[in-house]
Amino acid sequence: MKTYKKTATVKAKLFEKGDEDGMLPPESYTNLDAIEDGRYGIKPPLNHPYVKTLENQFLRGEFGKHYLCIGKAGERWLVGKEIFEATYEVVFEETKTDKP
> 6-15, 48-57, 84-93: which range is least confident on average?
48-57
* 49 φψ region: left (φ > 0), alpha (ψ -120 to 50), beta (else): beta
Domain enclosing residue 29, as ranges: 11-92
**pLDDT for residue 82:** 92
Q: Is residue 64 part of a domain?
A: yes
Q: Is residue 24 part of a domain?
A: yes
- Cβ count near 75 (within 10 Å): 14
- For residue range 14-68, list pLDDT tens digits in order: 999 999 888 876 666 666 666 666 666 666 555 778 788 877 677 778 899 999 9
Q: Is residue 4 part of a domain?
A: no
Statement: the pTM of the whole predicted model exceeds 0.75: no
**pLDDT for residue 5:** 76
Distance, CA of 69 to CA of 72 (rounded, Å) = 10
Is the distance from CB of 72 to CB of 13 less than 8 angstroms? no
Q: Is residue 66 part of a domain?
A: yes
Q: Is residue 1 part of a domain?
A: no
**pLDDT for residue 47:** 72
Domain count, the chain: 1
For residue 77, give the nearest of 96, 56, 53 by alpha carbon: 53
